[in-house]
A = this chain, B = another copy of it.
Amino acid sequence: MGTPLPRDPIADAQRNWERHGWGEVAAPMAAITAIMRTQQILLARIEGVLKPFGLTFARYELLALLSFARSGALPMNKASALLQVHPTSVTNAVDRLEKAGLVVRSPHPTDGRTTLIELTSEGRTLAKRATTALNNEVFGQSGFGTDDVEHLIRVLGDFRKAAGDFAD
C-alpha cells in the first residue's frame, strides 16, 4: 500500500485502548487486529502468485479441494462445507471456473437436488502448477519459524474448534 509507517499502528491502538481505560481487553484487541492485518498481507501474496495462472484464492481453493477428492468430483454443498464459505460463494467460483474450462457441473446420479463439480484435465493440471508455485513462493517462505508455525496451528486450531468449525 505504500511506505512503511514509522511505528506499528496496532501497538499504537493497544496503547490507546489502555489509555482510555480498556486495559483488560487491549491485548486481545491487538492480537485480533494483528490477525486481520496478517490475513490481508498473506492474501495479497497468494493472489499475486496465482494471478499469472488466471486464478484467485477462492477459485484455487476449490480446485485444490477437488484435486484431493478420490474421483475429482464433489457435490457443491460438500465443497461449501469443507471450504467453510457460503453456498453462493461456491456458485460464484464454479461459474467462473466452468467458464474457464477448469471444472464442469454434472447432475448427481441419485439426488436430483445436488450438482457435482468435476475437475477437467486442464483443471487438474492447473491446480498442480498453481500448488507448486504457492508452495515455493508463499508457504515455503512464510517467514514464520518452525516453532511459531506449530504454535499457530495449535492455538488457532483450538480457537476454530471452540468456534464450532469441527467436532473432532
CA of A166 to CA of B4, assembled, Å = 4
Residue A93 is within 8 A (CB to CB) of chain B in the complex: no
**Please, what's the 1-or-0 string for A139-168, where 1 marks a CB less than 8 Å from any CB in chain B?**
110111010111111011111111111111
Interface of A toward B, CB cutoff 8 Å: 1-2, 4-11, 13-14, 16, 22, 24-25, 27-32, 34-43, 64, 68, 80-86, 131, 134-135, 138-140, 142-144, 146, 148-153, 155-168
Count copies of this chain in the complex. Answer: 2
Write out the residue numbers on chain B whose beta carbons fall within 8 Å of the beta carbon of A9.
82-84, 165-166
Set B5, B42, B146, B158: member contacting A32, Cβ < 8 A: B42
Set B27, B38, B86: member contacting A156, Cβ < 8 A: B38
On whether the beta carbons of B156 and A31 are closer than 8 Å, the reply is: yes
